[in-house]
Structure 1
Amino acid sequence: MLDLRETAATLEQFVEGAVVVRDAAILSTRMAREVDKWTLEPLGEIRVGVTEYEHRSTGKLLLTVTRFTTAAGRTLSVPYALATKPARGRRLWGARAPAGPARA
């Protein structure tokens, strides 16, 4: 288990290595609510080194982010550096579609 904000930049080390990511999910604790209120959202993709314009002020700063996309399509971008040029990033992990029924 990794804290998203603190480890977004370190996930990049796994892109080229022999590490395999299996069945990723985001655990939402919602500001440390009671444990029975926590939720687990399966991820559809983790992409590192993506660039996005920041949204808080003028929108002119280009940031490098790790982008997490849930199986339901919700995205969470965790910035970790300033960027100088746009980049699509590289997929660290992507969920495989479930196998369909066998055809005769």
Structure 2
Amino acid sequence: MLDLPETAATLEQFIEGAVVLRDAAILSTRLAREVEQWTLEPLCEIRVGVTEYEHRGTGKQLLTVTRFTTAAGRTLSVPYALAAKPARGRRLWRAKAPPAARC
């Protein structure tokens, strides 16, 4: 289990390494409420090194982010550095699913 804001940049180590990432999900603790209120959202894709403008296009600063896409289609971008030029990033992991259910 990893804390997203603190480890987004460290996921790059898995791109060329010998470590294999199998299945992934985001655990939402809803601001540390009771355990019964926590939810687990399966991930569809993790992409590192993507660039986005801050606040999803409303800002002027280009940031390097790790982008998480849930199976439901929701995306979470966790910034970890400033960027000099746009980049698509590299796919770190993608869920194996039937073609109709892909991200």
Deviation of 1:57 after TM superposition, in Å, equals 9.4
Q: Secondary structure at the match of 1:15?
A: helix
Deviation by residue 1:80-104 (Cα, 9 ceiling, x = unmatched): 000000000001100011489xxxx
Aligned alpha-carbon RMSD (Å): 1.9
For 1:96 and 1:56, locate their aligned partners in 2 and report how far apart those are by CA, in whole Å. 28
Equivalence map 1:46-57=2 (5 Å): 46-55=46-55
Deviation of 1:70 after TM superposition, in Å, equals 0.2
**How does the TM-score come out when normalised to structure 1?**
0.91
Q: Percent same amino acid among aligned pairs?
A: 86
| Larger-gyration structure (1/2) | 1
The structure carrying a bigger helix percent of its residues is 2
Give 2:65's aligned amino acid: V
Deviation of 1:55 after TM superposition, in Å, equals 1.5
Give 1:18's aligned amino acid: A
Equivalent residue, structure 1, for 2:97:
97
Q: Secondary structure at the match of 1:6?
A: helix
**How does the TM-score come out when normalised to structure 2?**
0.91
